[in-house]
A and B are shown apart, each in its own frame.
Chain A
């Protein structure tokens, strides 16, 4: 019995599909709860969400199960093992980034290699004003307004969108005339420029505090705590904050997905895809090239901006190291893996790559270290002699590289190709 027939038997008819998915969700949640330190159990849990996506169940059931797993099971499992919640938050952040880059690269076909710059701009927007940083560069008169209180975080979420979009337009204006690969190199340079600026703007006036970074950064207020108290639930901030950020990320990702879907099927999305396929033809059909490209840059950048604000609040500490070229390529490999121009593809790609980085590579590192410390001997080779510099966790570049090469050569449409592209390929 082949893989296809198994899949058909289990996932393609509504009732078996619903049963299978529920069973897998139940088993995996139980496994995670029972073996909180097992990476495999948690990956099974993540896979159950993927299974849910692929199964042919009634839409209402799908939505309900998704809400159950993401809204209830995940937070509960996250309180059992805090690291899983951290992974989930990171996945959410990267999903939003991948969806943003997906607009620029996947839909509009503009290769942006400095995408992380917009993320950095968002992060520094909140970090500078939501910390004691203003005392370092502002005059006395202004200082009675700063530092801003935690409630300003929500204002800055919107400001993050604005600053992201503005930076996107500022970058886009001069460079959008350039041809594809030149544009890529210029955006790469721009990403580096932003990082170098963040690294060096501690003098002549100290705005970013240079390589030392900014800390502590205000977190959003726990406004719901009185309500929790009223119903007799209370937890220390240390447990509340991760859950809080998890739901914030979930909310933002939800909004981002919604915006993406609306955009994709609007006249704007169609214009982007027309530009991607053939600029000249699009222009001849009356697509305003510059305005549409700027719009793509701005909307992609705004998602990065809002996630930047959230990232800085979550981390409490940021420095330029978090915004390197590596991050930009990481996000790029996520959408190439998932499928350019495909929303579910971007989500899946972001999840896979993040999980690979945070769990598989880290897990391998830990495992190797344990073997090394135990001095296990394999085939006459004592693992205690393994070079100490050999840390699988540090090899994310290799992962990104392999993903990019293999996907581009073997499956350029990605794991979940966009619907429109599948149709196109079928027509040929």
Chain B
């Protein structure tokens, strides 16, 4: 076995894993927040995420077409992208809840879930339809921003691109803001109350429907932000890109204990790291017999094992607080 090689790629794999992990964490928040309030898997969340990515690419392409992209500060552009994507994705999530989930509240668990699958499929092709008419192509590439593509050289063998750092920092900031919102504000307290007990919360004067909409808004906004970061990191997007990351993020939410916000962050990071290591070391250790293609299988196996042996997830029992 080639030990020096295994060690030398370690930092690279670690960064890849962290980026993947933060991405999953941001998406997983949407699943876990909605689950905490409604006990329902919002299957369409992966499309909310992709919508964010498309909002980002549309703005970038528009700026590029005007020739202003290179003149503006990349950080300003990033902030604009994030805000726009969060707004669109958040509102989309709220609309979806109003149209497709609210009429089904109180029905058996599987009924709104099937509706969510329908929404997911509908949105995928709706995005495709829109982009086919608008740009005559639905496989879009994020325009590059020079600063983001520069690389820090850490040692001879390791370098990290600026965009990776930006993605990680942005994700961290957003997770922190969410944490403050949920735990330190009155709105956050109301959301937690609704998650704990809807009937009692409404007796305390909390507008339950508004809080549920707010949950969708925030979860969707996080998903939209993740979409922009995803686009910046991996460049290529199409309407169906969201499916696998969505599934992985759901795995992450379950891994951390679904309904539990810190759990989603931890679960996302753990899954991202596991996956990055599995993807690169699996094929090295088996001399290429089992390549990186098996990383999806690996993630699903994690999901199945967790659900069977510890359905409450890693943090499910320690922290009872849910948002």
Task: Give Cα distance in the complex from A190 to B128, angstroms.
Answer: 27
Q: Which residues of A contact B250 (CB under 8 A)?
A: 185
B136 within 8 A of A: yes
Q: Helix, strand, loop or mixed for chain B's interface?
A: helix
Q: Which residues of B contact A412 (CB under 8 A)?
A: 107, 111
Q: Helix, strand, loop or mixed for chain A's interface?
A: helix
A225 within 8 A of B: no
Nearest residue in A to B118 (C-beta to C-beta)? A404
Judge whether A409 and B103 touch: CB under 8 Å: yes
Q: Which residues of A contact B112 (CB under 8 A)?
A: 408
Nearest residue in A to B240 (C-beta to C-beta)? A397
How many chain B residues touch the partner (CB < 8 A)?
49
Residue among A182, A389, A401, A403 with the highest chain B CB neighbour number at 10 A:
A401
Judge whether A401 and B118 touch: CB under 8 Å: yes
A390 within 8 A of B: yes
Judge whether B304 and A404 touch: CB under 8 Å: no
Judge whether A402 and B293 touch: CB under 8 Å: no
Judge whether A329 and B117 touch: CB under 8 Å: yes
Against B, the Cβ 8 Å flags (1 = close, 0 = not) of A304-316 are 0000000000000
B119 within 8 A of A: yes
Judge whether B293 and A184 touch: CB under 8 Å: no
Judge whether A174 and B308 touch: CB under 8 Å: yes
Judge whether B300 and A404 touch: CB under 8 Å: no
Nearest residue in A to B123 (C-beta to C-beta)? A401
Q: Which residues of B contact A177 (CB under 8 A)?
A: 308
- Given A387-B133, A389-B136: A332 and B114 interface contact (C-beta under 8 Å): yes
Which of A46-54, A192-200, A266-274 is found at the contact surface with chain B? A192-200
Judge whether B138 and A109 touch: CB under 8 Å: no
Judge whether B132 and A109 touch: CB under 8 Å: no
Nearest residue in B to A197 (C-beta to C-beta)? B297
B100 within 8 A of A: yes
Judge whether B118 and A405 touch: CB under 8 Å: yes
A189 within 8 A of B: yes
Judge whether A178 and B311 touch: CB under 8 Å: yes
Residue among A178, A193, A403 with the highest chain B CB neighbour number at 10 A:
A193
A241 within 8 A of B: no
Task: Give Cα distance in the complex from A175 to B103, angstroms.
Answer: 30
* Number of chain A interface residues as a range: 35 or more
Nearest residue in B to A390 (C-beta to C-beta)? B132
Q: Which residues of B contact A390 (CB under 8 A)?
A: 129, 132-133
Against B, the Cβ 8 Å flags (1 = close, 0 = not) of A79-111 are 000000000000000000000000000000101
CB distance from B252 to the nearest CB of A (A): 12
Q: Which residues of B contact A367 (CB under 8 A)?
A: none
Q: Which residues of A contact B111 (CB under 8 A)?
A: 408, 412
Q: From B41, B115, B125, B303, give the contact of A395 (CB < 8 A).
A: B125
A-B contact count (CB 8 A): 131
CB distance from A139 to the nearest CB of B (A): 19
A123 within 8 A of B: no
Judge whether B300 and A193 touch: CB under 8 Å: yes
Q: Which residues of A contact B41 (CB under 8 A)?
A: 181, 184-185
Q: Which residues of A contact B129 (CB under 8 A)?
A: 390, 395, 398
Judge whether B121 and A408 touch: CB under 8 Å: no
Nearest residue in A to B137 (C-beta to C-beta)? A389
User: Which residues, 164 to 204 on A, are CB-close (under 8 Å) to B?
Assistant: 174-175, 177-182, 184-186, 188-190, 192-193, 196-197, 199-200, 203-204
Judge whether B243 and A325 touch: CB under 8 Å: yes
- Given A400-B118, A401-B118: A181 and B303 interface contact (C-beta under 8 Å): no
Judge whether A192 and B296 touch: CB under 8 Å: yes
Nearest residue in B to A277 (C-beta to C-beta)? B108
Task: Give Cα distance in the complex from A182 to B303, angstroms.
Answer: 10
Judge whether A196 and B296 touch: CB under 8 Å: yes
Nearest residue in A to B287 (C-beta to C-beta)? A204
CB distance from B69 to the nearest CB of A (A): 25
B10 within 8 A of A: no
CB distance from B241 to the nearest CB of A (A): 14
Judge whether B109 and A181 touch: CB under 8 Å: yes
B124 within 8 A of A: yes
CB distance from B310 to the nearest CB of A (A): 12
Q: Which residues of A contact B104 (CB under 8 A)?
A: 408-409
B294 within 8 A of A: yes
Judge whether A405 and B100 touch: CB under 8 Å: yes
B260 within 8 A of A: no
B110 within 8 A of A: yes
Judge whether B40 and A200 touch: CB under 8 Å: no
B277 within 8 A of A: no
Task: Give Cα distance in the complex from A409 to B300, angstroms.
Answer: 31
Judge whether A188 and B125 touch: CB under 8 Å: no
Task: Give Cα distance in the complex from A174 to B289, angstroms.
Answer: 28
Q: From A178, A193, A332, A402, give the contact of B307 (CB < 8 A).
A: A178
Judge whether A181 and B40 touch: CB under 8 Å: yes
Nearest residue in B to A330 (C-beta to C-beta)? B121
Give 23 pairs: A residue, B residue, CB < 8 Å, sorted on A. A111-B110, A111-B113, A180-B110, A181-B40, A185-B247, A188-B247, A189-B304, A193-B300, A196-B293, A196-B296, A203-B288, A389-B136, A389-B137, A390-B129, A398-B126, A401-B117, A401-B121, A404-B118, A405-B115, A405-B118, A408-B114, A409-B100, A409-B115
| Known contacts A111-B110, A204-B290, A329-B121; 7 further A-B pairs (Cβ under 8 A) | A175-B307, A181-B113, A182-B311, A185-B250, A186-B303, A389-B136, A389-B137
Which B residues are closer than 8 A to A by beta carbons? Answer: 40-41, 100, 103-104, 107, 109-115, 117-126, 128-129, 132-133, 136-138, 243, 247, 250, 254, 288-291, 293-294, 296-297, 300-301, 303-304, 307-308, 311
Which A residues are closer than 8 A to B by beta carbons? Answer: 109, 111, 113, 174-175, 177-182, 184-186, 188-190, 192-193, 196-197, 199-200, 203-204, 325, 329, 332-333, 336, 387-390, 394-395, 397-398, 400-405, 408-409, 412
